[in-house]
Amino acid sequence: MNRKLPSGCFFGVSLKRYEIAGFILSESTYSPDTKIARHSNEHAYFCILLRGTYTERYSSKFRECKPSTVIFHPSDEVHANHFLNQGGRLFRLEIKHQWLNRFNECSVRLAEPLDCSGGLLTWLTTRLYREFCHTDKVSSLVIEGLALEIVASASRYSASNAERKPPRWLEQAKELLHAQFTENLVFTDIAEFFGVHPVHFARVFRKFYGCTMGEYVRRLRVESASRLLTTTDRPLADVAVTNGFSDQSHFSKTFKHSTGMTPAQFRATFRSS
């Protein structure tokens, strides 16, 4: 049995709602151990988890969502949620049907669910949330612009994930990066380890992941640091060293370049009431 929720209607306790130019922004909180049965929503929407942890089942898949995770739910997608012992706090961006029709006319497709943690989507969605919390006379323009950037970024993200499967050696190299991203990795050593010429390695890596290996490692470090900033009170210097940065200054500069905020600003955003 599936319950379909109308526009702007979500479970949990609604804290704030703002509607502009075909977009609906809202924030909700959920009590510990809240379980939400299978349901769908009228509009497609993005959401970012600001606090807490929850699990979600959709189609035949399962995912665990932690702070700074961005999820996209297509319209009418059926899913069920379970907020764990800390409960949760969610910020959403709903997209009305007229915008989806315009996106389709421009060949911008948002038909499949996606989730990501860190990177451009998290940065854009966090900026949108900050604007939502502190609106002024020009906020409507800022919000519309950020919403469109989020849609464009998600469309590119989905398109890159839809490409043909990468070669096995590249998948293995990616697994190595995820396991050792805090260490001082040498590009040529990794290429040699997998028996691939460095030029070919670099070309294929960029084709499938849209960046250099160094940029990918930097992204992993920033994503890991983001999780520590939102879930712990560890000092910034400790977060920096734990994630492979040479010192706090290097960490702060890299983090701001990647997210548009300093580590302290990022932590404050996800800890704000």
pLDDT per residue rounded down to tens, the chain (273 residues): 566 555 555 678 889 999 988 899 999 999 999 999 888 888 889 999 888 889 999 888 899 888 888 999 988 889 999 999 989 999 999 988 888 777 777 666 677 888 887 667 888 898 899 889 888 888 889 999 999 889 888 877 665 555 567 899 999 999 999 999 999 999 999 999 999 999 999 999 988 877 889 988 998 898 889 888 888 899 999 999 999 999 999 999 999 888 778 999 888 877 764
Phi-psi domain of 244 (left: phi exceeds 0; alpha: psi -120 through 50; beta: other): left
Per-residue confidence (pLDDT) for residue 48, from 0 to 100:
92
Per-residue confidence (pLDDT) for residue 112, from 0 to 100:
81
The Cα–Cα gap between 190 and 237 comes to 29
For residue 119, give the CATH number of its domain: 2.60.120.10
The answer to whether the beta carbons of residues 86 and 113 sit under 8 Å apart is no
Tell me which residue has tokens 């989806």. Answer: 100
Per-residue confidence (pLDDT) for residue 199, from 0 to 100:
93
Strands 79-95 and 61-65, how do they pair?
unpaired
| 222 and 87 assigned to the same domain | no
Q: Where are the beta strands (DSSP E) in 35-78?
A: 35-41, 44-58, 61-65, 69-73
| 124 and 248 assigned to the same domain | no
| 51 and 86 assigned to the same domain | yes
Return the C-alpha torsion angle 193, 195, 197, 203, nearest 10.
Answer: -80
Last residue of a domain, one of 133, 161, 189: 161
| 22 and 84 assigned to the same domain | yes
| 222 and 143 assigned to the same domain | no
| 148 and 173 assigned to the same domain | no
| 140 and 212 assigned to the same domain | no
- Cβ-proximal residues to 106 (8 Å cutoff; 6+ apart), any chain: none
Last residue of a domain, one of 129, 161, 193: 161
The Cα–Cα gap between 269 and 262 comes to 11
| 24 and 99 assigned to the same domain | yes
φ, ψ of residue 117 to 5 degrees: the values are -130, 120
> Domain tally for the chain?
2
Per-residue confidence (pLDDT) for residue 209, from 0 to 100:
79
Domain interval for residue 147: 3-161
Q: Where are the beta strands (DSSP E) in 59-176?
A: 61-65, 69-73, 79-95, 114-117
